[in-house]
Protein backbone atom coordinates (compact mmCIF):
# COMPACT_ATOMS: atom_id res chain seq x y z
CA UNK A 1 0.00 0.00 0.00
CA UNK A 2 1.23 3.49 -0.80
CA UNK A 3 2.31 5.72 2.05
CA UNK A 4 -0.52 7.56 3.71
CA UNK A 5 -0.39 11.32 3.22
CA UNK A 6 -0.71 11.82 6.98
CA UNK A 7 -0.27 9.06 9.52
CA UNK A 8 -0.62 9.32 13.27
CA UNK A 9 0.34 6.32 15.36
CA UNK A 10 -0.49 6.23 19.05
CA UNK A 11 -0.34 10.00 19.31
CA UNK A 12 -0.95 11.57 22.71
CA UNK A 13 -0.60 15.18 23.81
CA UNK A 14 -0.29 16.06 27.46
CA UNK A 15 -0.10 19.44 29.14
CA UNK A 16 1.51 20.06 32.47
CA UNK A 17 -0.57 22.13 34.80
CA UNK A 18 -0.49 23.06 38.47
CA UNK A 19 -2.77 20.10 39.10
CA UNK A 20 -0.38 17.73 37.32
CA UNK A 21 -0.33 16.30 33.82
CA UNK A 22 -3.49 16.49 31.74
CA UNK A 23 -3.67 14.25 28.68
CA UNK A 24 -5.91 15.98 26.16
CA UNK A 25 -5.24 13.70 23.19
CA UNK A 26 -5.05 9.98 23.91
CA UNK A 27 -3.38 7.40 21.67
CA UNK A 28 -4.86 8.60 18.43
CA UNK A 29 -4.02 6.55 15.35
CA UNK A 30 -5.24 7.81 12.01
CA UNK A 31 -4.37 7.39 8.37
CA UNK A 32 -5.36 10.16 6.01
CA UNK A 33 -4.93 9.78 2.27
CA UNK A 34 -4.39 12.44 -0.36
CA UNK A 35 -7.64 13.87 -1.69
CA UNK A 36 -9.81 13.12 1.33
CA UNK A 37 -12.37 15.61 2.65
CA UNK A 38 -12.57 15.06 6.38
CA UNK A 39 -14.63 16.64 9.13
CA UNK A 40 -13.42 16.28 12.72
CA UNK A 41 -16.33 16.66 15.11
CA UNK A 42 -16.76 16.54 18.85
CA UNK A 43 -17.79 18.65 21.80
CA UNK A 44 -15.93 21.73 22.94
CA UNK A 45 -12.75 20.80 24.79
CA UNK A 46 -12.59 17.28 23.30
CA UNK A 47 -9.22 17.88 21.65
CA UNK A 48 -10.14 18.84 18.08
CA UNK A 49 -7.87 21.88 17.86
CA UNK A 50 -5.07 20.01 19.59
CA UNK A 51 -5.35 17.30 16.92
CA UNK A 52 -5.46 19.88 14.11
CA UNK A 53 -2.40 21.65 15.46
CA UNK A 54 -0.50 18.38 15.51
CA UNK A 55 -1.67 17.52 11.97
CA UNK A 56 -0.42 20.93 10.79
CA UNK A 57 2.89 20.59 12.67
CA UNK A 58 2.07 23.67 14.75
CA UNK A 59 2.33 21.44 17.81
CA UNK A 60 4.05 18.13 18.50
CA UNK A 61 2.83 14.95 20.14
CA UNK A 62 4.18 14.09 23.57
CA UNK A 63 3.83 10.38 22.65
CA UNK A 64 3.56 8.48 19.41
CA UNK A 65 4.64 9.19 15.88
CA UNK A 66 3.45 11.43 13.09
CA UNK A 67 4.47 11.06 9.46
CA UNK A 68 3.77 13.57 6.72
CA UNK A 69 4.10 12.22 3.19
CA UNK A 70 6.18 9.36 4.57
CA UNK A 71 8.56 11.59 6.57
CA UNK A 72 8.74 11.11 10.33
CA UNK A 73 8.35 14.45 12.08
CA UNK A 74 9.72 13.43 15.51
CA UNK A 75 13.33 14.16 14.71
CA UNK A 76 12.75 17.27 12.66
CA UNK A 77 14.25 20.58 13.71
CA UNK A 78 12.00 23.64 14.03
CA UNK A 79 13.31 24.81 10.64
CA UNK A 80 12.50 21.51 8.99
CA UNK A 81 9.02 21.59 10.51
CA UNK A 82 8.48 25.14 9.28
CA UNK A 83 9.46 24.06 5.80
CA UNK A 84 7.17 21.04 5.97
CA UNK A 85 4.33 23.35 7.02
CA UNK A 86 4.76 25.83 4.25
CA UNK A 87 5.25 23.19 1.58
CA UNK A 88 2.23 21.08 2.52
CA UNK A 89 -0.30 22.98 4.57
CA UNK A 90 -2.65 25.90 4.35
CA UNK A 91 -4.35 27.11 7.53
CA UNK A 92 -7.78 28.61 8.03
CA UNK A 93 -8.93 29.76 11.46
CA UNK A 94 -12.28 30.63 12.96
CA UNK A 95 -11.18 34.23 13.51
CA UNK A 96 -9.44 34.53 10.14
CA UNK A 97 -6.14 35.73 11.73
CA UNK A 98 -5.61 38.41 9.13
CA UNK A 99 -3.29 41.31 9.77
CA UNK A 100 -5.44 44.39 10.23
CA UNK A 101 -2.90 46.79 8.82
CA UNK A 102 -2.23 44.88 5.60
CA UNK A 103 -4.40 44.88 2.49
CA UNK A 104 -6.18 41.72 1.32
CA UNK A 105 -3.45 41.20 -1.27
CA UNK A 106 -0.65 41.66 1.27
CA UNK A 107 -2.33 39.24 3.67
CA UNK A 108 -2.68 36.60 0.97
CA UNK A 109 0.90 37.09 -0.25
CA UNK A 110 2.43 36.75 3.21
CA UNK A 111 3.11 32.98 3.27
CA UNK A 112 5.07 33.24 0.00
CA UNK A 113 7.59 35.63 1.52
CA UNK A 114 9.41 32.72 3.10
CA UNK A 115 8.94 30.40 0.15
CA UNK A 116 11.33 32.49 -1.93
CA UNK A 117 8.82 33.95 -4.35
CA UNK A 118 9.72 37.41 -5.65
CA UNK A 119 7.58 40.34 -4.64
CA UNK A 120 5.97 40.92 -8.06
CA UNK A 121 5.15 37.25 -8.49
CA UNK A 122 3.74 37.14 -4.95
CA UNK A 123 1.45 40.05 -5.60
CA UNK A 124 0.31 38.69 -8.94
CA UNK A 125 -0.49 35.28 -7.46
CA UNK A 126 -2.24 36.81 -4.45
CA UNK A 127 -4.45 38.90 -6.75
CA UNK A 128 -5.27 35.87 -8.89
CA UNK A 129 -6.24 33.87 -5.81
CA UNK A 130 -8.44 36.69 -4.55
CA UNK A 131 -10.12 36.85 -7.95
CA UNK A 132 -10.93 33.14 -7.92
CA UNK A 133 -12.47 33.66 -4.50
CA UNK A 134 -14.70 36.44 -5.83
CA UNK A 135 -12.68 39.21 -4.20
CA UNK A 136 -11.13 40.78 -7.28
CA UNK A 137 -12.65 44.13 -6.34
CA UNK A 138 -11.37 43.95 -2.78
CA UNK A 139 -7.65 43.48 -3.22
CA UNK A 140 -6.68 46.80 -1.64
CA UNK A 141 -9.15 46.63 1.24
CA UNK A 142 -8.02 46.17 4.82
CA UNK A 143 -9.72 43.38 6.82
CA UNK A 144 -11.82 45.94 8.72
CA UNK A 145 -13.29 47.05 5.40
CA UNK A 146 -14.49 43.52 4.64
CA UNK A 147 -17.37 41.42 5.97
CA UNK A 148 -16.64 38.30 8.03
CA UNK A 149 -17.36 36.08 5.04
CA UNK A 150 -15.06 38.12 2.84
CA UNK A 151 -12.31 38.01 5.44
CA UNK A 152 -12.62 34.25 5.65
CA UNK A 153 -12.31 34.04 1.87
CA UNK A 154 -9.16 36.16 2.07
CA UNK A 155 -7.83 33.65 4.58
CA UNK A 156 -8.74 30.78 2.22
CA UNK A 157 -6.76 32.54 -0.51
CA UNK A 158 -3.85 32.89 1.93
CA UNK A 159 -4.00 29.17 2.71
CA UNK A 160 -3.45 28.48 -1.00
CA UNK A 161 -0.59 30.90 -1.49
CA UNK A 162 2.13 28.22 -1.19
CA UNK A 163 -0.03 25.52 -2.76
CA UNK A 164 -2.00 24.43 0.29
CA UNK A 165 -2.14 20.81 -0.86
CA UNK A 166 -3.56 20.05 2.59
CA UNK A 167 -6.02 22.65 3.84
CA UNK A 168 -6.61 22.61 7.60
CA UNK A 169 -9.64 24.63 8.69
CA UNK A 170 -10.44 24.92 12.39
CA UNK A 171 -14.10 25.94 12.77
CA UNK A 172 -13.94 28.01 9.57
CA UNK A 173 -17.65 28.87 9.69
CA UNK A 174 -17.84 29.30 13.46
CA UNK A 175 -17.92 33.11 13.37
CA UNK A 176 -20.06 33.46 10.25
CA UNK A 177 -23.76 33.83 9.50
CA UNK A 178 -25.40 30.94 7.67
CA UNK A 179 -25.09 32.38 4.14
CA UNK A 180 -21.41 33.29 4.53
CA UNK A 181 -20.75 29.89 6.10
CA UNK A 182 -22.33 28.19 3.09
CA UNK A 183 -20.11 30.22 0.79
CA UNK A 184 -17.00 29.18 2.71
CA UNK A 185 -18.10 25.54 2.55
CA UNK A 186 -18.66 25.88 -1.21
CA UNK A 187 -15.07 27.12 -1.55
CA UNK A 188 -13.71 24.22 0.52
CA UNK A 189 -15.70 21.79 -1.64
CA UNK A 190 -14.34 23.43 -4.77
CA UNK A 191 -10.79 22.98 -3.42
CA UNK A 192 -11.52 19.34 -2.66
CA UNK A 193 -12.80 18.93 -6.22
CA UNK A 194 -9.51 20.34 -7.47
CA UNK A 195 -7.57 17.68 -5.56
CA UNK A 196 -6.74 19.42 -2.29
CA UNK A 197 -6.96 17.35 0.85
CA UNK A 198 -9.34 19.21 3.16
CA UNK A 199 -9.59 18.64 6.90
CA UNK A 200 -12.01 20.76 8.84
CA UNK A 201 -13.01 20.95 12.47
CA UNK A 202 -16.60 21.74 13.30
CA UNK A 203 -19.16 21.09 15.98
CA UNK A 204 -21.96 21.66 13.47
CA UNK A 205 -23.37 18.39 12.09
CA UNK A 206 -24.75 20.19 9.01
CA UNK A 207 -21.25 21.43 8.16
CA UNK A 208 -19.75 17.98 8.79
CA UNK A 209 -22.29 16.48 6.36
CA UNK A 210 -20.35 18.11 3.49
CA UNK A 211 -17.36 15.86 4.19
CA UNK A 212 -16.82 12.36 2.84
CA UNK A 213 -15.31 11.12 6.09
CA UNK A 214 -16.28 12.14 9.61
CA UNK A 215 -13.93 11.52 12.54
CA UNK A 216 -15.54 11.95 15.91
CA UNK A 217 -13.48 12.89 18.96
CA UNK A 218 -14.62 12.64 22.56
CA UNK A 219 -12.40 13.28 25.55
CA UNK A 220 -9.23 13.11 23.48
CA UNK A 221 -10.00 9.83 21.75
CA UNK A 222 -11.30 8.92 18.30
CA UNK A 223 -14.68 7.35 19.03
CA UNK A 224 -15.96 7.03 15.46
CA UNK A 225 -14.49 7.21 11.97
CA UNK A 226 -17.06 7.00 9.20
CA UNK A 227 -16.73 7.18 5.44
CA UNK A 228 -19.93 8.90 4.46
CA UNK A 229 -20.13 8.33 0.75
CA UNK A 230 -18.16 7.35 -2.33
CA UNK A 231 -14.43 7.01 -2.62
CA UNK A 232 -12.04 9.80 -1.81
CA UNK A 233 -10.59 11.59 -4.80
CA UNK A 234 -6.97 10.57 -5.21
CA UNK A 235 -5.08 13.24 -6.98
CA UNK A 236 -2.60 15.84 -5.94
CA UNK A 237 -3.31 19.50 -5.69
CA UNK A 238 -1.56 21.76 -8.14
CA UNK A 239 1.00 23.41 -5.98
CA UNK A 240 3.12 26.18 -7.38
CA UNK A 241 6.82 25.48 -8.04
CA UNK A 242 7.89 24.05 -4.71
CA UNK A 243 11.56 23.22 -5.02
CA UNK A 244 13.23 26.54 -4.40
CA UNK A 245 16.75 27.01 -5.70
CA UNK A 246 19.58 28.01 -3.37
CA UNK A 247 19.33 31.56 -4.71
CA UNK A 248 15.62 31.61 -4.12
CA UNK A 249 16.10 30.35 -0.59
CA UNK A 250 18.65 33.03 0.14
CA UNK A 251 16.44 35.70 -1.38
CA UNK A 252 13.56 34.31 0.66
CA UNK A 253 15.50 34.64 3.87
CA UNK A 254 16.45 38.23 3.17
CA UNK A 255 12.96 39.12 1.96
CA UNK A 256 11.37 37.42 4.92
CA UNK A 257 13.53 39.31 7.37
CA UNK A 258 12.72 42.57 5.66
CA UNK A 259 9.00 41.80 5.46
CA UNK A 260 8.83 40.44 8.97
CA UNK A 261 10.42 43.57 10.34
CA UNK A 262 8.18 45.83 8.32
CA UNK A 263 5.12 43.90 9.37
CA UNK A 264 6.20 43.59 12.95
CA UNK A 265 6.45 47.34 13.23
CA UNK A 266 3.16 47.96 11.51
CA UNK A 267 1.47 45.23 13.44
CA UNK A 268 2.69 46.27 16.83
CA UNK A 269 1.58 49.76 16.08
CA UNK A 270 -1.82 48.30 15.43
CA UNK A 271 -1.82 46.29 18.66
CA UNK A 272 -1.93 43.03 16.80
CA UNK A 273 1.03 41.39 18.45
CA UNK A 274 -0.83 38.21 19.24
CA UNK A 275 -2.02 37.78 15.68
CA UNK A 276 1.44 38.58 14.45
CA UNK A 277 3.02 35.92 16.63
CA UNK A 278 0.47 33.37 15.47
CA UNK A 279 1.13 34.27 11.88
CA UNK A 280 4.87 34.24 12.23
CA UNK A 281 4.59 30.92 14.01
CA UNK A 282 2.79 29.53 11.03
CA UNK A 283 4.73 31.12 8.28
CA UNK A 284 8.20 31.29 9.63
CA UNK A 285 8.00 28.67 12.34
Ligand X SMILES: Nc1ncnc2c1ncn2[C@@H]1O[C@H](COP(=O)(O)OP(=O)(O)O)[C@@H](O)[C@H]1O
Residues that bind Mg ion (CB under 5 A): 48-49
23 binds ligand X (CB under 6 A): no
Site string for ligand X, 124-163 (x = CB under 6 A): ----------------------------------------
Q: Is the dihedral of CA 15, 207, 183, 132 positive or negative?
A: positive
- Cβ distance 101 to 269 under 8 Å? yes
Q: Residue 235: which of Mg ion, ligand X, none does it interact with, CB under 5 to 8 A by kind?
A: none
Distance of CA 220 to the CA centre of its chain: 21
**Residue 30 Cβ vs Mg ion, minimum distance, rounded to whole Å:** 17
CA dist., res. 266 & res. 259, Å (int): 10
48 or 125: whose CB is closer to Mg ion? Answer: 48
For the bound state, the minimum distance from the C-beta of residue 57 to ligand X, rounded and expressed in Å, comes to 16
**Please, which residue, 50 or 159, has the CB nearer to Mg ion?**
50
Hey, which residues between 31 and 60 contact ligand X (CB under 6 A)? 42, 44-50
Smallest distance, ligand X to C-beta of residue 29, A: 18
**Which of residues 53 and 65 has its CB atom nearest to ligand X in the complex?**
53
- Out of Mg ion, ligand X, none, what residue 45 binds, judged by CB under 5 to 8 A for its kind, is ligand X
Quick one: what does residue 15 bind among ligand X, Mg ion, none, with the CB cut-off 5 to 8 Å set by partner type?
Answer: ligand X
Sign of the dihedral through C-alpha 280, 152, 105, 197: positive
Residue pair 102/122 in contact (Cβ under 8 Å)? The answer is no
Nearest-CB residue to Mg ion?
A: 49
CB 246 → ligand X: shortest distance, Å? 38
User: In angstroms, rounded to a whole number, what is the distance separating the alpha carbons of residues 271 and 264?
Assistant: 10
Give the one entry of Mg ion, ligand X, none that residue 26 binds, where binding means its C-beta sits below a cut-off of 5 to 8 angstroms depending on kind.
none
Partner interacting with residue 155 (select from ligand X, Mg ion, none; CB below 5-8 Å by kind): none
Total residues interacting with ligand X, rule: CB under 6 A: 11
Burial 126-161 (b: 16+ CB within 10 A, else e): bbebbeebebeebbebbbeebebbbbbbbbbbbbbb
**Pairs from 204-211 (Cβ < 8 Å, separation ≥ 24):** 204/173, 205/41, 207/39, 207/173, 207/181, 208/39, 208/41, 210/37, 210/39, 210/185, 211/37, 211/38, 211/39
Where along the sequence are the contacts to ligand X (CB under 6 A)?
A: 15, 17, 24, 42, 44-50
Amino acid sequence: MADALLELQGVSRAYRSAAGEVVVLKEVSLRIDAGEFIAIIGPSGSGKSTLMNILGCLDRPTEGSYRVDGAATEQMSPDQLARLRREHFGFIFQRYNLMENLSATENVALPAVYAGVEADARTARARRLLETLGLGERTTNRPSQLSGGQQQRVSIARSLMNGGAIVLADEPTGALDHASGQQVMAELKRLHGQGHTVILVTHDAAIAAHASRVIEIADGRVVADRHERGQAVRQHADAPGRTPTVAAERRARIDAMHEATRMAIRSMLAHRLRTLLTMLGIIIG
